[in-house]
Amino acid sequence: MKRDSFGDEVKTELLKIAQKHKINVTNVSDLDLSTPDLSLVEFRGVLMNLNLDTNVSYCFRLAHELSHIIYGDGNLHKIYGFSEHAKRGEELCAHKNAIRLLMKIEKPFSPLSFMEYYKIPAWLTAHVEREFKLQSLID
């Protein structure tokens, strides 16, 4: 399977998950490079900034934003902005849940290949390794 088609398949699966949870995903191409992707919890919507200046993959970012709505505490915040550097609270939970969502779509060969493909920040290595082990136990 080609990497490009694999990425399209993952994106399609994430959009199916969004649809299942009645979350509207909108790609926006006229935002500034520094405007983060957003989860609008109350409106069950995700805005993906196609111009966002980040190395993190679109699929990981989308899984992250979906996680805020699917698994998050909607009473805590009404809007979340993506940050690959956020290491606490709801942002850390969304990172972990994004890893879990993506691994359930397609089990990686290794934690490192998973991180490289989705361009996940190195500080999340322990979380990726932990989820990889959990997914291996389920199989």
Query: Which tens digit of pLDDT belongs to each residue from 16-54?
Result: 999 999 999 999 999 999 999 999 998 999 999 999 999
For residue 124, give the nearest of 116, 139, 101 by alpha carbon.
116
Confidence of residue 139 (pLDDT cuts 50, 70, 90): low
Q: Which run of H or of E encompasses 13?
A: helix 3-20
Record the pTM.
0.91
Q: Is the pLDDT of residue 6 over 80?
A: no
Q: How many angstroms separate the Cα of 129 from the Cα of each of 85, 91, 92, 120?
A: 18, 19, 15, 12
3 state SS of 102: helix
Q: How many angstroms separate the Cα of 3 from the Cα of each of 7, 8, 9, 124, 133?
A: 6, 9, 10, 23, 24
Q: Which run of H or of E encompasses 42?
A: none
How much is the pLDDT for 129?
96
Please return the burial class of 35, using the count of CB atoms within 10 Å of its CB with bins 0-12, 13-18 and 19+: middle
